Structure formats: structure tokens, C-alpha cells
């Protein structure tokens, strides 16, 4: 017998999409891009890298940010 109505597990694909795709994009374009530009790095490149790499791009930026001293923007 098939139950009709709303099931909480129906939200799982939406929640997964938000966590894996949308949150990294927002972080990339709202925080990483301006922060990288301010530090003299190509902010647009870091932001665009969040499209295919998602959380890996954010992790890579945080590592590079910690290792490379800030310079004046170009």
C-alpha cells in the first residue's frame, strides 16, 4: 500500500544539494572573492573554482590564505 502525503525523507535530496552545491557557491562569491582580491590574489578565479570543486576549493583557499602573506591588490 502506497502512503500519500509528505514525508520528511523527501527533503533529503534538497538538503544534500544545498549543502554540497549552494553553500560553497555563496561562500565562494560572497566571502572568498572579495577576500582574495583584498589580499592581491585573483578572487574571481577562486570563486569560479567553487563551481566544479565545491568544498575542496574552499579548503584549498583557506590553506593558501594561511600560507601566503597578504600583498597589496593589483
Helix (H, G, I), strand (E, B) or coil at 7: coil
Q: In terms of pLDDT, which residue wins out, 7 or 73?
A: 7
Distance CA 40, CA 72 (A): 5
Phi, psi of 42 (to 5 degrees): -75, 95
Considering the entire predicted model, what is its pTM?
A: 0.75
Distance CA 32, CA 61 (A): 8
CA distances 72 to 25, 27, 47, 66, Å, are 26, 23, 19, 16
Give residue 16's pLDDT. Answer: 84
- Sketch the domain layout of the chain as residue ranges: 12-66
Write the pLDDT tens digit of every residue in 21-64.
888 999 999 999 999 999 999 999 999 999 999 999 999 999 99
Amino acid at each position: 500500500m502506497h502512503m500519500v502525503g509528505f514525508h520528511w525523507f523527501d527533503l533529503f535530496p534538497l538538503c544534500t544539494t544545498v549543502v554540497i552545491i549552494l553553500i560553497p557557491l555563496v561562500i565562494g562569491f560572497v566571502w572568498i572573492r572579495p577576500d582574495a582580491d583584498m589580499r592581491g590574489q585573483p578572487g574571481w578565479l577562486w570563486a569560479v573554482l567553487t563551481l566544479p570543486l565545491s568544498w575542496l576549493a574552499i579548503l584549498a583557499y583557506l590553506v593558501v590564505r594561511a600560507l601566503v602573506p597578504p600583498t597589496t591588490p593589483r
